[in-house]
Structure 1
């Protein structure tokens, strides 16, 4: 471990052209955070720092379930850093790479769920006139609990202020997700984010990179031209049961990827509305629980290894004069075999104790073995004796009383009806909302924004509350019983309708 101001660095979890990212523990608040430490090369660029600070302040005020929370912007020595919400999971980039290695595609419903969660984050930011500028798989994090988070709002704008030669190195790997107007160096608006989201949607569904090339220059040229029609025409929806869904999804992607921004979706809310209709019409709704289960299968072993590395860094122990002690520096982790403070006399006593313990164990084993052997011998002797015949029985020997046949119990005993344990029931509430940015609560606990499937609900009454700034809060009481376990709710014009 390494101290970094008020933080204790646990391990490095990522690195880019501009910064390193660490998992850390905040000492005063006792919480796990992510530290993005800006490389010192950029700490000397005044234009970059000024814009970086301004954009970080804006990003810190984006309070939304699908946006990473910013805790602190600070400087330690020559290093500027951002303390932010830690996500225990994987980036979408890592998920896509793992799927390509396994020659798999993520299920369609999960792909659309991820895209919709990112769209809701963008919807919230765009309403505050905040443009992300770098919507790419590396900036989309998915937790092992199935939560989707968008990170690095405003960082791309700060990157734009640095020198051109340096910026080329930072943009490496991100060129594939630029909008044409970005690649041409023109002024951009929120529609550039919509273009990038269309690319991600295409790649999740197809399993292919939309703008691929041997060199950065080749990729940049393809992005500028944005000739996507041939790619869309050959797009096949993997394991899709509905023929029409392919046409509808292609039309949505096609509208996102128009070269001319005026021909794209003019706002992300329109995109969300079309996607809501598709997922509802074709039964492609998914949720955090299903995404969590999928990630557990995809990254289960790697998650355990990462946790093991962190535990080793946080809780290393070495033998010392007072027993096993927590180490005070990383170097001591590698000294676990050094028996410090144990002299020769103590080692001799330890050997003597070990020998006595071993001798005692052998004695107990022999005692049990011999006793067991005697019991076996006695049983064998009894079995070897001849059975007593009626002639050899003594007249004085007690006779076993004979029970008349008529007095014996006939038939089976009535031990009562054996009942199987009742199957535990759980309920599910499907909620479809319009407008799509309505907020959903159950039993005063926030569930998220937009369509939701609330699963594994216990029997009994549950309070559903849906809020939207344009309407008064709407509340419904839903009772889950053994007879009724599934409910479908529609939220329209500020009212909740319960469908049969």
Structure 2
């Protein structure tokens, strides 16, 4: 099997996209799994690419947080530039949503809170992700929520004239209005993208879906006309308010930063369901159905098992076969819609 500098042994190809190809590999010295992201050779032809690559890789490597994928190494060999990243055993959020399009308030909020914590860590260090979307969020089998591809979105930006064209590589369903317009962005752009993810996880629908790039961009620039509660009446008002504030057209009307958004999410979360929601995340990452995450009981009463309830539990067990289709993913998922 091919090796990189005798340090990483490539085991198999995972995926490829417009920016790079992903490989499952083993770090030979520590005998641990890693992911190698090898950037396509044509990118190196861009003026100043090598310098930008080193700058961005080092910036991403300085981020040390449980909700951000860790950069282990980067370099260049005869085949081109590469980055070595932590391996996350679990599916992407995109895969989870494909199997279970609607997560419900508590699961969606819990995932969003974890993403906020990672974003806050990065933003405080001057790093904006620019490409927050379900494909770039991993759900580990241990229930950990991990943001991938930090800092890499800026690599394909050789000059001001190509900034807008660069941001439109890939489907722009989760872009902020300012990013779609080619304007300067800050951390609040990532929060808008997170709001878009929340909307989708709560309703099963992407708020800016369109048949063409132009249609998507037009919808983004016009803003969301209806909150998630309008689409699904069981969405709680507090949850709806968090999502709609994140999706404000004007960045000044959004949350000031990721920490403020995390606090708002914590206030909207039902504290009685946090533990069960975390358990649900672990089940979803393993390809199993999530346990019910909103169980209400009347004060002072316990609900006894009944034949009807046993039948419902059996039916829920059968649903595991459906959601077993969630395939195991790895970190560093390439840009995809």
TM-score with structure 2 setting the length:
0.80
Between the aligned partners of 1:289 and 1:2, the Cα distance in structure 2 is 39
Matched with 2:293 is: none
Whether contact under 8 Å (1:136, 1:177) holds in the other structure is: yes
Q: Deviations over 1:84-131 (max 9, x none)?
A: 10111111112222335xxxx224322221111111101111122221
Q: In the alignment, what sits opposite 1:327?
A: none
After superposition, where does 1:372-411 map in structure 2 within 5 Å?
none
Task: Say if 2:4 is the partner of 1:4.
Answer: yes
What's the offset of the Cα at 1:46?
Answer: 3.2
1:155 Cα deviation (Å)? Answer: 1.0
In the TM superposition, 1:190-205 aligns within 5 A as: 190-205=187-202
Instruction: Look up the match of 2:133.
Output: 136
Asked if 1:49 corresponds to 2:50, the answer is: yes
For residues 211 and 20 of structure 2, the distance between their equivalents in structure 1, rounded to whole angstroms, comes to: 26
Tell me if structure 2 keeps the 8 A contact 1:135–1:197: yes
Distance in 1, matches of 2:274 and 2:141, equals 21
Alpha-carbon distance between aligned partners in 2 of 1:301 and 1:197, rounded to the nearest angstrom: 25
Partner of 2:280: 290
Matches within 5 A, 1:6-405: 6-100=7-101, 105-161=102-158, 164=162, 167=165, 171-173=169-171, 175-226=172-223, 228-232=224-228, 234-236=230-232, 240=234, 246-280=236-270, 283=273, 286=276, 288-296=278-286, 297=288, 300=324
Return the alpha-carbon distance in structure 1 between the equivalents of residues 157 and 201 of structure 2: 28
Q: CA RMSD in A?
A: 2.5
Computing the radius of gyration from Cα coordinates, the structure with the larger value is: 1
Q: CA deviation at 1:302?
A: 6.1
Greater length-normalized contact order (CA 8 Å, ≥ 6 residues apart): 2
- C-alpha distance in structure 1 between counterparts of 2:327 and 2:173, whole Å: 28
Which runs of 5 or more residues in structure 1 are unaligned? 308-500
Contact 1:70 1:85 in 2 (8 A): yes
- Specify the alignment match of 1:323 in structure 2: none
Deviation per CA, 1:309-332, whole angstroms, max 9, x where unpaired?
A: xxxxxxxxxxxxxxxxxxxxxxxx
| Bigger strand fraction | 1
Deviation readout 1:452-482 (Å, 9 max, x if unpaired) = xxxxxxxxxxxxxxxxxxxxxxxxxxxxxxx
SS at match of 2:202: helix
Q: How far 1:272 sits from its partner (Å)?
A: 1.1
Kindly tell me: are residues 170 and 230 of structure 1, through their superposed partners in 2, closer, same or farther at Cα, counting changes over 3 Å? closer
Checking the alignment, whether the CA contact within 8 Å between 1:182 and 1:188 is kept in structure 2 is yes
Contact 1:43 1:78 in 2 (8 A): no
* Structure 1 position 13, deviation (Å): 2.0
Moved >6 Å (runs of 4+):
none
Q: Is residue 10–residue 24 contact of structure 1 (8 Å, CA) maintained in 2?
A: yes
Alignment of 1:464-483 (within 5 A): none
1:184 CA displacement: 0.7
Summarize deviations over 1:197-237 as a string: whole Å, max 9, x none.
111111001110111111111111211222x1325462315
Pair 1:120–1:216, CA change in 2 (3 A): same
Structure 1 residues 86 and 283, CA gap change in structure 2 (3 angstroms): closer
How far apart, CA to CA, are the structure 2 residues paired with 1:128 and 1:156?
Answer: 16
